[in-house]
Structure 1
Amino acid sequence: MHRPLRRLLSAPALMTAAALLLAGCSGAATEERVDRKQNAPSAKPMTLEQLAAAVHCGKPKVPGKTLDYRQGVCKAGTAEYVLLTFDTAKGQREWLDVSQMYGGVYLVGNRWVLSATPRSAMEAARAKLGGTIEEGLSSGTSPSAG
């Protein structure tokens, strides 16, 4: 598994804790980190299995469920995907706000998020799933930089 995906997979607990600490922070900085594309999020929530089927990567490996989201990983050809589904829109937004501090690019739908390497795989997924692409900015000072 590529290093950025491994970092993303090892960070959920840290991200959840940081999200709780940042829940009261202003959204102004978030708006600066968002690179919104033209497609709106899909209207209905999807399961991990539905997301995996849409990108043709088979059954996702699911390390477990946290309080508010499920995460899975799968491969299709040379593309690697991290798939997330959320119980609530608020939980999704908190997860994204924290994740974007570490950089990365995310395809965001209605209570689901997908990230892929290479980025072209995520662009192809957007053509199938809809959603918006959000890009975080990393200053290189985060614990995941390196």
Structure 2
Amino acid sequence: MLMLAAALAACTAGCGPGSSGDDASGGHGAPGHDEVDVSVLPSKPSKPMTVQQLATGLGCEPELGGKYADYRLAWCDVNGTRVVLTDFDTAEGQRLWLEHSKDYGGVYLVGERWLVTGNSLKEISPLQDKFGGKIEKGDIHGPPPPASARPADK
């Protein structure tokens, strides 16, 4: 579990506000262009891939973060945006990792024993056509939206 926490901390280091150049995001999962309910987005078939295969498909050189209990992490810069690539030895390991990582926010493209993590739906949704998978969102993190963007209290 300690290795999981360390890996999650490393993952979120590349996914903070401003790392994508999109200052309007306000942090992981903040309101804005990501207000789409991802549960209604279709899932697309995917196949198992490694972080190296994902990086090749993205056209970037991965910065390998290491091999942990049953997964590998890497980072890639794609069109000025940093994404985190993760592959898993087992589907169970992926499910557990994803359950815990969603507490840190972000948007995830979840494939068969791999995932790509970014800051926004705008960054991640185009990758679904390339790799397949299902888009999922983490919890909202970052500053609250401006008062003008909040729903009125009743």
What is the TM-score of this pair, normalised by structure 2?
0.63
Residues 1:80 and 2:113 are matched in the alignment: no
Shift of 1:117: 4.0
| Residues in 1 aligned to 2:141 and 2:78: alpha-carbon distance in whole angstroms | 31
Unmatched 5+ stretches in structure 1:
1-5, 12-33, 141-146
Unmatched 5+ stretches in structure 2:
1-7, 14-37, 143-154
1:2-17 counterparts in 2 under 5 A? 7-9=9-11
Aligned positions, number: 112
Q: Greater CA radius of gyration, 1 or 2?
A: 2
CA contact (8 A) 1:80 1:118 kept: no
Q: 1:37 corresponds to which residue?
A: 41
| Residues in 1 aligned to 2:88 and 2:140: alpha-carbon distance in whole angstroms | 24
**Percentage of matched positions with identical amino acids:** 43
| Residues in 1 aligned to 2:141 and 2:77: alpha-carbon distance in whole angstroms | 29
CA contact (8 A) 1:75 1:81 kept: yes
**Counterpart pick for 2:53 among 50, 55, 64:** 50
CA contact (8 A) 1:107 1:126 kept: yes
What is the TM-score of this pair, normalised by structure 1?
0.67
| Root mean square deviation of aligned Cα | 2.5
Q: Which runs of 4+ in 1 moved over 6 A?
A: none
CA contact (8 A) 1:73 1:82 kept: yes
